[in-house]
Structure 1
């Protein structure tokens, strides 16, 4: 009984204590009013305290601090700061965090670029072994007119700014705005006029004086901007100077070597050089000779020209390497080297061949690299071969020509062949159709012939004679359409091409830039139509989207709606897009091309280890 009573008393006590601690619900408005009243009371107390003597204030100091702490606990630290000020403060903190993230990403990108950079210098083996290093550029007898040299640096900067010419390097040669001021003979100027060339293009304004001055150079300009004349005209002048001093004997030469990635580009370059050499000879200047060394042609024919003594050799890497190895050609007196479409050569696997070619030189040479697309990776790779280089950039490296109207259309895979006929109605001929695979080129060519279209086709699997014939028929307007793989996309200059059709989107955005650059050349406007569908990689489509935005072209809805997480960091650090492949839709940390190469290398390493292990067992 006593136990029950004791429990009952305890329950009553607990209940009464709960009742004492009970806090009734107070609405938000009322709570805020109460808090404001408390704040007012505290402020009044503080005012009264400040009016009293120093002794009182010192006595109440501790109490005041307690009040402050109590106040902060009640109303929070930002009670007297406006929401606008709080927002700006938070924004500053967010920006600081973002900047830190940017810096971190830039450091990571720098490490990635260093890890993929070439450790071996682009120099001859003998030079590396002997420790030979050239520090001064080659000296030439050319100087700009005195009145151009007398102009202040601000004038030259103004000219460069007007033509959007970006130049890097030490002791930059001044830009020269006319061929006459470049001191070319009348025969060359009249030959240029016959081709419809009255004045130099932006890359020629700065590039030709740089080359004539003997400087090593990296030349980057959009397709159709006249890069070929930047290295061919000075080379002809140098050869003319050499021939006047001491005529070339049999088996002597070349003085200049031009290396191209494809046979078609090499043949086109040779034709340009031969045209100006013939024009000079017709005006009474000494006769100059050039040789074309490419695959698919008998060496006997090529050697007949070389044996007579040759001033210029235009070659593809494979045939040149073979003839150098057999000592059929020597580079003993060669002092001028051009790598045309240099980045494509490196990407196509000719990197080791280029390095080997360097080892055949017997002295310092003037080295020139040219391309429309040259990522940072290639520029860094080339620097080891150049002496005090001048980098000339007209527009962004890898940017599409603004004279090309780019149209991107979503076409299902099975409908592409039929849609080509519809696209051919957009413009008058000639039209170029590009496809990635050889069998697609053959299929398109056969389909167009069946539909009564005058078409020819070229790709790497066709005989050299057939390739030459197809290109000549197309250039001479005997055929309306040329269907080709990317062998026709690098540097080839077809007259008056109205329209380029990409049957499929290339796997590399650089190839896309080269393809559409076959139209809209020399200030003319052209159209490029590209078929895309769900088979195209997302990363390539993002690159295409940003390329269209950069060129202020219409972006289709299906491309505009695409968004990647990496896009928020596309414009950091001053370097636009990817430093490895030049794509605008990603950074080097997310580069699909680099990832594919690294995967391939890892696979080949594993295979070598496996084969080596098996060989050891045997």
Structure 2
């Protein structure tokens, strides 16, 4: 190969960057000059060494950002912050972003829709219609007039075409036997949640009802299902194997039993006055299914159930929901929270048609409401008081009692009011120990918790409600929805793990307009987050705040107004507690642990099945 051919294989060097008069330039320097020219054109920030080793060129001020840059993303961010292109986020902004991420993760859950609707892609846009209408004089009222009335009653509503509030049961066009029953029970006028909630429910509208404990929510969802069943039975009788027309879900057996007994009493009153028989079924654990078969054979109109037993009966085809047009969830925040969420979704999969859905509770945070609204059709939200607030008819006393002194101090607390008294404890062992101690001291007492048989639980509730026993000692199984009209005093042997349970516990007294007393023992074992929630709840209710509560370091103090009010928009969007944010929510953390434990159990079970 000659020299000319050999030189033709060499890369072509661009000499235009040098002066024409330049003498010979070594190949190495020409390559360096060409590379430098390329970098200059690409505007890359490189440090280039001069020919003389003692000198360095100044760095280019411009920095190329993005994936093509030769510096890390961290360094790029630092450079942008130096030039004030990116501003440093405040601590509040960082917290807000984290909270938003948590809430978005919660919102990604599937809606409470039936499997049939999801599979078919069915979305209902209009609520169910109803034959019920208020009297003409009420229909002629303007929205402005209705709103003025709601303001007087302290009722807050949200929704389209909300029916007017009705101030008497007679205006609701109830049958005379039901009106007579209410008079016998000394229920003369509706409570605010009934004044607005009953017209909404009678109209066939989906609804979220929020009101203080003891405000009459049970009647607000029991009367509509009775009226719907009465109308269906009048038009076309329920035959063998048919029904139910309506269904009420409760989180506990005791609450389901209480609701069932109230419905049965009203239905018996109707039959005594010549109306058709409305058959109700109590569907809870601990009741023999064989004993209920004769009633199932006739066909049932109303089912009051806990999720576990109801799922079992639906899967065994003992009940079918083809004709079910009414669904109510009592203590709905518990029903659609992590505790029963999977059970409720499974139950929803048995529905074949659109239904009227009602959710009731005393504690339903805003984010739970938003999630629930996704499953409802043009819902009406009826709110009487802040969700999660304690009743103003309850005097709350908080006392610091050492762990080992609590049992002894109980006797002193029992002297504050006459019986009956309800004592709550977190652990089953504490419940048994307290009852044993009280019996030794001659105090007539009974107890209930999840490990007792259904017969034992029923006996405890019946004897306590009948006045045969002075004290009922219970876990939180008795804190939700149970109605004990004569209780004047509730004692919390310990502070519950979240503020919602506290509100439900003390809500067993101060019901139906009566005044009640709630005494709570706290000590060093109580969580600071829950104690801060308690502190703000006391401030909101204008109760006395003990010094030991005020002394706890409170990061939310900066949101206090005039030293004695709380901005209720600042707080936990998950549980509604005012003393912490969602990132520190003890309830959310507890549910995460339960969920993770369940996932680990499923994984272990799958591993076992592999062998």
| TM-score class, shorter | 0.7 to 0.9
Cα deviation 1:475-507 (Å, max 9, x = unaligned)? 110111001111110100012101000001100
Q: How do 1:530-549 residues align onto structure 2 when only pairs under 5 Å count?
A: 530-549=520-539
Select the structure that is richer in helix: 1
* Structure 2 residue matching 1:210: 3-state secondary structure: helix
Tell me how far apart the structure 2 counterparts of residues 604 and 279 of structure 1 sit (CA, whole Å).
Answer: 46
In structure 2, the CA distance between the partners of 1:612 and 1:273, relative to structure 1 (3 Å rule), is: closer
- Correspondence for 2:68: none
TM-score w.r.t. structure 2 length? Answer: 0.82
**CA positional deviation for 1:171:** 1.2
- Correspondence for 2:62: none
**CA positional deviation for 1:597:** 3.7
Contact 2:425–2:474 (CA under 8 A) maintained in structure 1: yes
* Structure 2 residue matching 1:527: 3-state secondary structure: strand
More off after superposition, 526-535 vs 562-571: 562-571
- Correspondence for 1:428: 418
251, 257, 260: which one aligns with 1:267:
257
- Correspondence for 2:581: 587
**CA positional deviation for 1:376:** 2.5
Please report the RMSD computed on the Cα atoms of aligned residues, expressed in angstroms: 2.3
In structure 2, the CA distance between the partners of 1:550 and 1:566, relative to structure 1 (3 Å rule), is: closer
Tell me how far apart the structure 2 counterparts of residues 400 and 557 of structure 1 sit (CA, whole Å).
Answer: 21
Please list every run of 5 or more consecutive structure 2 residues that lacks an aligned counterpart in the other structure. Answer: 1-86
More off after superposition, 127-136 vs 381-390: 381-390
Tell me how far apart the structure 1 counterparts of residues 238 and 165 of structure 2 sit (CA, whole Å).
Answer: 33
**CA positional deviation for 1:563:** 2.7
More off after superposition, 163-172 vs 411-420: 163-172
135, 141, 146: which one aligns with 1:156:
146
In structure 2, the CA distance between the partners of 1:486 and 1:615, relative to structure 1 (3 Å rule), is: closer
Contact 2:498–2:586 (CA under 8 A) maintained in structure 1: no
- Correspondence for 2:59: none
- Work out which of the two has the higher radius of gyration on C-alpha atoms and give 1 or 2: 1
Tell me how far apart the structure 2 counterparts of residues 296 and 113 of structure 1 sit (CA, whole Å).
Answer: 38
Contact 2:193–2:211 (CA under 8 A) maintained in structure 1: yes
Contact 1:106–1:573 (CA under 8 A) maintained in structure 2: no
Aligned residues: 521
- Correspondence for 1:174: 164
Q: How do 1:238-249 residues align onto structure 2 when only pairs under 5 Å count?
A: 238-249=228-239
* Structure 2 residue matching 1:349: 3-state secondary structure: coil
- Correspondence for 2:155: 165
In structure 2, the CA distance between the partners of 1:142 and 1:453, relative to structure 1 (3 Å rule), is: same
TM-score w.r.t. structure 1 length? Answer: 0.81
Cα deviation 1:263-305 (Å, max 9, x = unaligned)? 0000000001001101111111111110101101111112221
Cα deviation 1:338-384 (Å, max 9, x = unaligned)? 11111123346211110111111111100001111012232222122
Contact 2:116–2:351 (CA under 8 A) maintained in structure 1: no
In structure 2, the CA distance between the partners of 1:215 and 1:100, relative to structure 1 (3 Å rule), is: farther
Tell me how far apart the structure 1 counterparts of residues 586 and 559 of structure 2 sit (CA, whole Å).
Answer: 17
- Correspondence for 2:118: 128
In structure 2, the CA distance between the partners of 1:601 and 1:317, relative to structure 1 (3 Å rule), is: closer
Tell me how far apart the structure 2 counterparts of residues 564 and 381 of structure 1 sit (CA, whole Å).
Answer: 30
Contact 2:559–2:570 (CA under 8 A) maintained in structure 1: no
Tell me how far apart the structure 2 counterparts of residues 551 and 128 of structure 1 sit (CA, whole Å).
Answer: 44
Tell me how far apart the structure 1 counterparts of residues 567 and 546 of structure 2 sit (CA, whole Å).
Answer: 29
Q: How do 1:393-404 residues align onto structure 2 when only pairs under 5 Å count?
A: 393-404=383-394
**CA positional deviation for 1:104:** 6.1
- Correspondence for 1:440: 430
Q: How do 1:166-565 residues align onto structure 2 when only pairs under 5 Å count?
A: 166-347=156-337, 349-565=339-555
Tell me how far apart the structure 1 counterparts of residues 203 and 557 of structure 2 sit (CA, whole Å).
Answer: 42
